[in-house]
Structure 1
Amino acid sequence: MKKYITLLLISISILSKAQDKMLTKNGIVTFEASVPSFEEIKAKSNIASCIVNTNTGEIAALVLVKSFRFKIALMEEHFNENYIESDKYPKATFKGKIEGFNYSKITTEAKDFKINGKLELHGKSKDITIIAKIKRGKDGLEILSNFSVNSDDFDIKIPSVVSKKVSKKVNIELDFILK
């Protein structure tokens, strides 16, 4: 009988800890480095992972660089081989904290939150601050954000031949629904 009670207490403890975290494995990350009057340079990944600790507001996200899909296959190939070097640097990660996050006070109306953290891409890390809209949706905690980074900050070299066609300012859009 004591074994069953112990097992029950351990199970409850594990479940309560699991409820402290919400996650997704199919978040959407889109980036665009287009320049007006030239071909669109835009890609999307539908398999980004994100986890939020609902007690502390800590957040972490990961996207495999090779999961980004472009409209043009040759662009995708150049992106992976020449710019991001995805065999050498296979993932992009973010670890940070949502300022003033209190899960119990999150409502169905989106509210802006500041997120401070470290973005790692192409073997380089940079402290960034982004603004995200966070709300409770019918399917879970929704996090939406739009922000920009500079390719130079991550030592991503754009060949001079195409430098007029590719923006160094890269716009990133996040769309996560965590459960």
Structure 2
Amino acid sequence: MLKRSCTLFLLLFSTVLFSQKFITRSGEIKFEASMPAFEEVAAKNNTVSCVFDSSTSEIAVLALIKAFRFKVPLMEEHFNENYIESDQFPKATFKGKLINYDGAKMKSEKTAFEVEGVLTLHGQSRNIKTKINFVPSGNKLYLTSTLKVKTSDFKIEIPSVVKNKIAETVAINLKFELEKQN
């Protein structure tokens, strides 16, 4: 009985010991929905949280919608009140897992993996699959990714008055500097 308890304890302890979580609360998401010949429709959020667990290859991202900043304050107001309805839908999340992840493949240079998961925005959830780039450096892990989403997939309605000024497909760029947690 004691031997079994010790074995169980060591097994659980080793799982916790080798679990490698990398975290940031200052990640960056930029998006662009500009149309040629019209005013730039772009914003940036520098307060994005991201957690990557290298033992399970799971990744989670949380962005507060009201933290996106535009060059034009009125555009930011319209984004929050009319399009994304940030009072009703205050956050965007992504929960996913790397496909065929092998931590041993990560070298000091950039290594790309595919990630599959669920993006939730404006109260709508969609499965997405994209590439994510990893660059390890000491106790840090740098992640970058790009993806494109359609506003209609997330039931974001663009008024007809400005429909030709805002792209239906939005380009999203992510950049995270994660630190290893002990």
Aligned-partner residue type, residue 66 of structure 1? K
CA drift at 1:20: 2.2
Identity among equivalent positions (%) equals 45
Corresponding residue number in structure 1 for 2:123: 123
Inter-partner Cα distance in structure 2 for 1:166 and 1:53: 36
CA drift at 1:165: 0.2
Residue 55 of structure 1 contacts residue 102 of structure 1 at CA under 8 Å; is this kept in 2?
no
Corresponding residue number in structure 2 for 1:4: none
The answer to whether residue 26 in structure 2 is matched with residue 26 in structure 1 is yes
Inter-partner Cα distance in structure 2 for 1:176 and 1:133: 10
The answer to whether residue 146 in structure 2 is matched with residue 146 in structure 1 is yes
Aligned-partner residue type, residue 92 of structure 1? A
- The 5 Å alignment of 1:17-56 reads 17=17, 19-56=19-56
Inter-partner Cα distance in structure 2 for 1:80 and 1:132: 28
| Higher-strand-fraction structure | 2
Inter-partner Cα distance in structure 1 for 2:171 and 2:131: 13
Aligned-partner residue type, residue 54 of structure 1? S
Aligned-partner residue type, residue 98 of structure 2? I
Corresponding residue number in structure 1 for 2:4: none
For the residue of structure 1 that corresponds to 2:34, the secondary structure is: coil
Inter-partner Cα distance in structure 1 for 2:175 and 2:49: 11
Aligned-partner residue type, residue 136 of structure 1? P
Q: Structure 1: where are the runs of 5+ without partners?
A: 1-8
In angstroms, what is the RMSD of aligned CA positions?
Answer: 1.9
Q: Structure 2: where are the runs of 5+ without partners?
A: 1-8
Inter-partner Cα distance in structure 1 for 2:123 and 2:137: 35
Corresponding residue number in structure 2 for 1:59: 59
CA drift at 1:139: 6.0
Corresponding residue number in structure 1 for 2:85: 85
